[in-house]
Amino acid sequence: MAYQTLLDERRDGIAYVTINRPEKLNALNDQVMADLQTCFEDIQQDAAVRAVILTGSGEKAFVAGADIGVLAVQTPVEGKERSIRGQRVLDLIENLGKPVIAAVNGYALGGGCELAMACTIRIASENAKLGQPEVKLGIVPGYAGTQRLPRLVGKGRTMELVLSAEPISAAEAWRIGLVNQVVPAKDLIGACEALARKIMANGPLAVRFAMEAVNRGMEMTEEQGQFLEATLFGLCCTTADMKEGTRAFLEKRPPKFTGQ
């Protein structure tokens, strides 16, 4: 499917989704968000796709933020509606049921940082910069940045990042747990592919249920999260993949999962 603002290539079980507005540093506007929603809804239904790598075109930016020209003229009602629409798209990405790896290849600011945080895992190039600079514009993060960021790095670091509005380096982002890995720019996609293939070698249903246990469990008490985990563990025990995985281990051979 062709998109106005995205490139979508699928091969060997991986969907490569690239936000393609390099002249605007891949800034998010309504069309980008609509394209992301349509693209990820299609990926969710595509059984051939086992993992996603999301990045930005060019060498400067993953996503440098929102389109400020649009934000500058929005009414309060339009602002709230735009925020809610964006949150829904990012929720779709976070709860896709398939791992989404953000290849952060440069600036990931504002909505770009929020988009990266909605991904399952973040790998950054050494030149990446991440941050939430919204208060410099007299607004607050609108795509759930105030919610996902403290869940990743804690309340204190979130307050510093959001209130100072200053970006941090990839190395600092790794130190505080905002990104999982930092690699040279030339190795970024290769590192994402290597991780995607490691995940894809595992049982697809187990991967999906494990992601659900973590994502949903974060919003529950520990007791409730443990109950969810036990329920999903039980569901895994009904699958052909569980039987194949345990049998392959006992027979000392690689498993051949079918996602059933």
Residues with a catalytic annotation lie at 114, 134
Token pair for 107: 């600036």
CA-CA-CA-CA torsion for 27, 32, 37, 41, nearest 10 degrees? Answer: -100
Q: Residue type at 66?
A: A
CA distances from 241 to 28, 62, 101, 127 (A): 39, 36, 24, 40
Token pair for 154: 């804690």
Sign of CA dihedral 121, 55, 183, 142: negative
* Closest C-alpha among 181, 226, 18, 209 to residue 115: 18
From CA 101, how far away is CA 112, in angstroms rounded? 14
Instruction: Report angle CA 221, 154, 81 to the nearest 5 degrees.
Output: 80
